[in-house]
Structure 1
Amino acid sequence: MILSSKGLDIKPSSTLEITAKAKQMKADGIDVVGFGAGEPDFDTPDHIKQAAIEAINEGFTKYTPASGILPLKKAICKKLEADNKVSYKPSQIVVSNGAKHSLTNTFMAILNPGDEVIIPAPFWLSYVQMVKIADGVPVVVKTSKENNYKATMDDLKNALTDKTKAILINSPSNPTGMVYSAEELKQVAEFAVENDLFVISDEIYEKLIYGDEKHISIASFNEDIYNRTIIINGVSKSYAMTGWRIGYAAAPEQIAKIMSNIQSHASSNPNSIAQKAALAAISGSQECVDKMKTQFDKRREYMYDRVSKMPYVSAIKPQGAFYVFVDLDSALGKKYKGEVIENANIFAKLLLDNEKVAAVPCTDFGYDTHFRLSYAIAMENIEKGLDRIENFLNNLQ
């Protein structure tokens, strides 16, 4: 039997793989510190859980419209207007089974075979695979540390071809935590309009920004870029609802309709109970977000300070999300117990095997010289894990 060549070309998620391995080691009684998971360690806030319980008790367990219930869509529109200064109608909103699903729907709605999508690296590893699933061609543009790992106009111009269909922007970024400024986004917007391109703006970490940095939706600048932008967001990161699987897209009406049609055949509606929970999250008090953000910020400061003092590695202080993107710098070429550290994959394997620390090598994120540490874990585990990483680095030869 001949299987799908496209399916065979899709790689598994290395972040989920390393997280699963760390969990299995823990289940086997091994004291492992896992820095891999891209999910808050906090429980879903009580008022959100209560909304789900009430939905169950009220029998809200049937099919809903494929693109989501109207009250949730209205709440999303209200949120986008208040937080992001962009105006949408419910017919422009498609609620899906997580932001991953929203992204996949987006690529399937706008891409034809051979269409290219510019993806600045480092990038969240699933972007490339999603573009491939939709028969598109991912065009990876490697950014520089000197520019805080953000795409410049030269980067975009050099990647542009007559097949370019879209640009993907993730701000705050996974894995770097960097945030695009208003001026940088305006340049991307002008470039997109001038070259007749779509912009997919992944804003899933928008509420997790620290210090004086501000989140800006690229669609808010003017009508031209608004009509070319698909905003991706969801409740997973900000409300500690990763397992509830609710994401959404805000898009021009024609694109939203196509996405809704695709979803209606692929998965029907997102989970009815989770939609009620998401409604409570988005329309309810945001105090829970602020409390989590305060804890993330403390961990961010601690982790960055510790990493900055370690030998052989360096990092730029993240402005958002909950990751530190660590450059192996002088560690490459060093040896640990006789084995040469040639890249982040080898580093991560040696670290897990010898110090029982699970860190994510960023080869699949477009940077094989870096690894990612998540501070969405308890401070006690952060301290223990960083002690072990420092010990590992101190034993390089």
Structure 2
Amino acid sequence: MAPERLRQKHAPVLRSQTLVACEPAAFASASGLELVSRVKGSTEDCLNSLFYATAPQSGQIFIESKMVTIANALAVSAQQYAGNNSAQTLQLILFLRAGYYVQFYQSGTVGSYGASLRDAIRPALAAFVANTHFTDVNDAHGAVLREFVILIDSAVEAAQHLGTLRGLLDRFNASTEASYYMSGATNSVYQVLYRSHSNADFLAAVQADTSILQSLESFITRTEHLLGASNQYLTVNAARELARFLRHTGPLQTLTRPKVKAVIDNHSMTGPSAGLWVGAAEMVDFYDKANCAYYGTCDFRRTVEQTVLGITHTCGATLRMRAQHMTATQLTRSCDQLATQETYFHDTPKTNRVPVASDNNTSLEVIIFDSSIDYQNYAGALFGINTNNGGMYLEGDPALMHPLISDSPSELAWSAARAFSEGKFQMRG
């Protein structure tokens, strides 16, 4: 599977006051102005629940004629947009996003979307971009903008909005960075790019105007100060999406190669820029592996693993520890803690040390990273896991990846032992 982008950490959604009850059946029966009123009077939570609508109600809610009604309402709202959600523009956007999502997975129930919806959504999107508040930088606008950018992807209109996407990248500055929702809107640009590569119109648009590559390249250079920080995903994702253009053979790949090579050459697999280096190398490995020598990334996973996880310590026949940085005292103490916790675990739930059915694992390897940032930088590429979590127990290796706060290895070791023991002796499936 193609490497994905990193995700922004969640924050509370900006809520609006409930004006109408959230009843899916009401959306199914409403049409015209009544439907517009019901959508605009709903909370974000209510509209988000429509993403999970099922047949036959999903077809009644999201039939193309109703999507056209809401797209037309968005066009009007976009022209009057005041830079915030005072006119419930966000609600219209969320309904449209939900409709595209449900139709994609339930086309047999919802029916097809064609020229009627396309001809309604395009002027709506264009009107929002043309609004003078589109370039505002604050959380109130950012909360709406973030969902609007995703709507570009939902409607498969990236080809029409390359300039919009470039502008969001090019205008990113300290004020944008300081706003959670504006940063989220910027990160949504990467989602649009990531999901558009299989679209022929998008590819043709990029080939006709390759300046999106320059915008990504410039964004990386201008935001290097984010590397090693909690919001480094913005810079790392820019590198990933730049490198994703390597998938297209021909002139576009030729243009992309030296830009990706520069990212790799100018950064290191360790230190603050590790996430950027590993992200770019991972994309090269997936999309241009035959030319790995050009980038200097051949067998990069083995090199990274040997460099980063340089400490190996065997506690006994059933446990080995690998770490970035731990002292001999910390390693010994952690082994003792693991043994103590294992005994406590078996004595408390009375496991009799008998594994659950079909569990043939006989040992545990604990992988200890120095921090959550290091875990995020390396674990995905090395072990093929999602790193938007606190750690993971992998059946079959077995290995546990977990970020380590460097002054508490004993706490980490206890967590590792518990995860392994629960997986082996208490949980099946």
Q: What band does the TM-score fall into relative to the shorter chain?
A: under 0.3
Ranked by relative contact order (alpha carbons within 8 Å, sequence separation 6 or more), the top structure is: 1
TM-score (structure 1 length as normaliser): 0.26
Structure label with greater radius of gyration: 2
**Structure in which a larger fraction of residues adopt helix:** 2
**Structure in which a larger fraction of residues adopt strand:** 1
TM-score (structure 2 length as normaliser): 0.24
